[in-house]
Chains A and B, each alone.
Chain A
Amino acid sequence: AQRVTQPEKLLSVFKGAPVELKCNYSYSGSPELFWYVQYSRQRLQLLLRHISRESIKGFTADLNKGETSFHLKKPFAQEEDSAMYYCALSNQAGTALIFGKGTTLSVSS
């Protein structure tokens, strides 16, 4: 079965500290993985996708097929990074996104 697991509901860090939001997936074949973010009172929006291998707002995510993980990382957290983060997997037909339950990141000064 295709599944995305985000083990942490809440992650609290101090400004300037490194951040790692965990995401594990279950999928047969080559997955298409994404991170979506929802800031307070804003719409859910794409943060990054593994296939583009780019860094957005200082965040990176590496696909580890051996560990079936796609953890989101940032070396130095900023207060404006506080948001809900969702890891998502595209189904094999490319017609649906399967989301994890999300992790709330709280960055305090």
Chain B
Amino acid sequence: KAGVTQTPRYLIKTRGQQVTLSCSPISGHRSVSWYQQTPGQGLQFLFEYFSETQRNKGNFPGRFSGRQFSNSRSEMNVSTLELGDSALYLCASSLAGGAYEQYFGPGTRLTVT
């Protein structure tokens, strides 16, 4: 079956702008998680959605938000971009959440200038 897809793969934005990233999970998976990956901090959990409900949120400012649609596709939004938001954003899907095997997408590389 098709893997997790993320669009776009690369993005360059200017400080102060906002951005929306998209994630399509594996068919049948109802949980979608988002992670930020940076060289300094590694992989940090952003939030998790299950059946359109946010079940958990990591320690990130309110500028980071997300949502999940009825078909389990998910989007995350970052408003008022800062230079420090430059990172690889990974989406992962699973049957039911963190304790289950997570299938990761290729990531969206966001560069803020």
Residue ranges of A at the interface with B (Cβ–Cβ < 8 Å)? 32, 36, 43-46, 49, 86, 90-91, 93-102
| Among candidates B42, B56, B58, B103, residue contacting A93 with C-beta atoms closer than 8 Å | B56
Most chain-B CB neighbours within 10 Å: which of A86, A94, A99, A101?
A94
Q: How far is the CA of A64 from the CA of B68 in the complex (A)?
A: 37
B42–A96 touching, CB < 8 Å: no
Chain A: minimal CB distance from B37 (Å): 9
B105–A90 touching, CB < 8 Å: no
Name the CB-closest residue of A to B41: A101
A93–B90 touching, CB < 8 Å: no
Q: How large is the interface on B (under 10, 10 to 19, 20 to 34, 35 or more residues)?
A: 20 to 34
Can you name 10 extra interface pairs (CB under 8 A) apart from A97-B98, A97-B102?
Answer: A36-B102, A43-B3, A44-B92, A86-B42, A90-B99, A93-B98, A94-B96, A96-B48, A97-B92, A98-B45
Residues of A within 8 A of B106 (CB): 43
Most chain-B CB neighbours within 10 Å: which of A44, A46, A101?
A44
Most chain-A CB neighbours within 10 Å: which of B3, B41, B100, B105?
B100
B99–A94 touching, CB < 8 Å: yes
Most chain-A CB neighbours within 10 Å: which of B35, B90, B98, B103?
B98
